[in-house]
Amino acid sequence: MCKDKDIQQMSDPHLFGYTAHCFERFMENKLRPYNIGIEQLGVLYLLRHYHAKNLSIREISSLLAKNITTTSRILSSLEKKGLLKRTKDEKDKRVTYVSLTEQGYKKIDKIAFLKNEMDNIFNSTLTQDEKNTLRNVLAKLIKAVSCD
């Protein structure tokens, strides 16, 4: 764990990376008992969010800002766990759609507390003005590196 003095001496990019790493470790530790990884969680939440619309692998890849190969690997892992299913488009067999299975919905329900826990961390640590500023700064950084 870094001391305040160490954090203050970090360059901005280092501090940003360190913060991302700390959040990643926090989430990995919370997800470990549920046999799910952070990338897998992202896919499950996407599929739940877009449940009314079948998402193609290409759309999932774009929404996650990951390449098709990485996305396919994540999907294969979730499919082996029985959390999602793939369906070929009837008109265009090159397109594959992905949706949650009942087991996938149940898994999301089991780990839904994590979103509340993360919300509580942000709400108890940052004021609304700080959260707004953080959102604006992160949006600028995302735009600067063209991550869309």
State which H helix or E strand residue 42 sits in.
helix 38-49
> Residues, the chain, total?
148
Q: What distance in Å separates the CA atoms of residue 145 and residue 113, rounded to the nearest whole number?
A: 32
Residue at token pair 């507390």 = 113
Per-residue model confidence as pLDDT tens digits over 42-82: 999 999 998 867 899 999 999 998 999 999 999 999 999 99
Instruction: Please report where in the chains the tokens 């869309």 appear, as a residue.
Output: 148
| pLDDT (0 to 100) of residue 101 | 94
Nearest alpha carbon to residue 72 among 94, 92, 96:
96
